[in-house]
Amino acid sequence: MASHHSEPLDPADADDPSDNNPELPCPSYHIVTKPGQLPVEFLEPSAAQKLVIGFDCEGVDLCRNGALCIMQLAFPDAVYLVDAIEGGKELIQACKPALESDHITKVIHDCKRDSEALYFQFGIKLHNVMDTQIAYSLIEEQEQEGKKMTSDDYNYISFVSLLADKRYCGILYPEKEEVRTLLRQDPNFWTIRPLSDMMVRAATDDVRFLLSIYAKMMEKLSKVSLWRLAVRSELYCRCFCLSDNQFADWSPLPPVPDDIEADVYVPEADILSVLDVPPGKMGRVIGRKGSTIMAVKECCKVEIHIGGAKGPPDRVCFPQPYLSEIIYSYWIVVLGFAKLLIQPCLNNEVVFIIGPEKEVRKAEAIFRGRMLEF
């Protein structure tokens, strides 16, 4: 395998050097162009052999209209780079049973765009996902219980920042920025064949730590948080996959588990709401210099999140008073536990709201009111 340059954090920077994670061994990798090159237990999911795998996708403008180029699957002993360009639609379709299976848990950091690409390009409904971005937020909420929450406490962390967190990995990932630079220079970077050493290394690094992070997070999550994680991950998988049937053919959301004690407070289940914004009305949804967003914040204890100081690559970091003056791909507002995502959707503009129903309904009412104003 190509040489690897991810760097463990200096033990001197750790709170407790004994807790600092050394760099994990580099797994072997396999470039897959035919279904038969994938493990049988993946191609044929079974209740008798449940799996947990790391998962990610790379592509050109990865979304409904982009091109999925590589799908990465991390197993404990190897990483499989599923080449969608060389293998074509037949190869990705061979993965459909696994990606939709209850018996295979897919560990991924921020599943929304990957799910959108799989759904619209291949008809795959990504299911049974453990989203580490959501898990991180829930763990932070657990640790802050009883304390006044700030916007930083609700932070939806970037993957690079998660890797650097000593509690989960403690690995620096400078090559991520190198790849981002290459993508800015050549948006078709992931279509280049044969795969270069850097492409293989970058694709492998995006998934090879996920199983270790998963194990550490699962130890920290309470039973209630595990349920909320399962529900919210399912909603994230479908939130950009709006179709005429309103998700009727997707798997049902996980119910409250029977093993949660009766005297334990269980938050209201999250829901997904989709608001169509009439042409020319998105400015009113945002408000002058973000005034509507601020109204939602005041009414619903809103926190605005952009994924850290700089934000992940598909978000835009902007000063809060100038929301309406920025061109952006999408942004996030958290209403209590609700998360608002605003993005262009086909030819219409759509507001997606995910969170407990009461918080979601409050936000809906404010936005609908703003859209009706003259």
Q: What is the CATH number of the domain that holds 163?
A: 3.30.420.10
Q: Give bridge partners of residue 276 from the DSSP assignment.
A: 350
Based on the domain organization, do 207 and 69 belong to the same domain?
A: yes
Mean pLDDT of the chain, nearest integer: 80
Q: Name the helix (H) or strand (E) containing 99.
A: helix 96-99
CA atoms of 242 and 238, how far apart (whole Å): 7
Q: How many CB atoms lie within 10 A of CB 129?
A: 23
Measured distance CA(363)–CA(10) in Å, rounded: 45
Q: Is there a domain that residue 151 lies in?
A: no
Residue 308 falls in which region: left (phi positive, over 0), alpha (psi -120 to 50) or beta: left
Q: Do 216 and 310 sit in the same domain of this protein?
A: no
Q: What is the pLDDT of residue 148?
A: 53
pLDDT at 336 over 60: no
Residues 204 and 298 in one domain: no
Question: Do 124 and 273 reside in the same domain of the chain?
Answer: no
Please give the angle made by the CA atoms of 114, 233 and 284, to the nearest 5 degrees.
Answer: 80
Q: Which residues lie below 8 Å from residue 39, measured CB to CB, with a gap of 6+?
A: 75, 80
Claim to verify: residue 196 and residue 317 sit in the same structural domain = no
Q: Does 145 fall in a domain?
A: no
Exposed / middle / buried, residue 159 (Cβ in 10 Å: 0-12, 13-18, 19+): buried
* Residues 219 and 326 occupy one common structural domain: no
**Number of domains making up the chain:** 2
Higher pLDDT, 142 or 21: 142
Q: Is the domain of 120 the same as that of 192?
A: yes
Strand pairing of 28-32 and 78-83? parallel
- Asked whether residue 59 is assigned to any structural domain, the reply reads yes
24 and 88, same domain (yes or no) = yes
Instruction: Point out the least confidently predicted range of 14-18, 295-299, 367-371.
Output: 14-18
The answer to whether position 246 is within a domain reads no
Q: 217 with 279, same domain?
A: no
Token pair 């003259």 is at which residue? 374
Q: Is the pLDDT of residue 23 over 70?
A: no
56 plus 181 within the same structural domain: yes
**What amino acid is encoded at 148 in this protein?**
K
Helix (H) or strand (E) holding 359, with range, is: helix 357-372
Tell me if residue 104 falls in helix, strand or coil. Answer: strand
Does residue 366 fall inside a structural domain?
yes
User: Are residues 13 and 170 in contact, defined by beta-carbon separation less than 8 angstroms?
Assistant: no
Could you tell me if 192 and 200 are in contact, meaning their C-beta atoms sit under 8 angstroms apart? no
- Domain termination residue (choose one: 205, 223, 241): 223
This prediction has a pTM of: 0.79
* Cα separations in angstroms, 140 against 109, 137, 167, 264, 371: 16, 5, 12, 19, 35
Specify the pLDDT at position 311. Answer: 30
CA–chain centroid gap for 85, Å, is 23
Single-letter residue type at 164: A
Domain range spanning residue 342? 268-372
222: left (phi over 0), alpha (psi -120 to 50) or beta: beta
Q: What pLDDT band is residue 155 in, cutting at 50, 70 and 90?
A: low
Tokens of 292: 């509507």
Amino acid at 169: C
Q: Is residue 146 part of a domain?
A: no
Q: Say if residue 342's pLDDT is above 80.
A: no
- Beta strand 67-74 with 104-108 is unpaired
Contacts of 44 (CB under 8 A, 6+ apart): 97
Joined together, the tokens standing for residue 102 give 């209850």
Tokens matching residue 209: 């730590």
Q: Is residue 208 part of a domain?
A: yes
50/165 same-domain check:
yes
Tokens of 220: 């920290």
Residues ≥6 apart with Cβ < 8 Å to 261: none
Instruction: Give pLDDT, residue 341.
Output: 64
Helix (H, G, I), strand (E, B) or coil at 153: helix
247 vs 92: which has the higher pLDDT: 92
Domain end, chosen from 191, 223, 255, is at 223
Which of 206, 223, 240 finishes a domain? 223
Question: What is the C-alpha R_g of the chain?
Answer: 21
CATH number of the domain that residue 290 is part of:
3.30.1370.10
Give the DSSP H/E element, type plus range, for residue 332: strand 331-335
285, 187: one domain: no
- 235 in a structural domain: no
Question: Interior CA angle at 303 toward 300 and 304, to 5°?
Answer: 130
CA angle 261, 234, 76 (to 5 degrees): 90
pLDDT digits (tens, 9 = 90+) for 262-313: 667 777 788 888 778 888 887 787 777 778 767 776 777 544 332 323 233 3
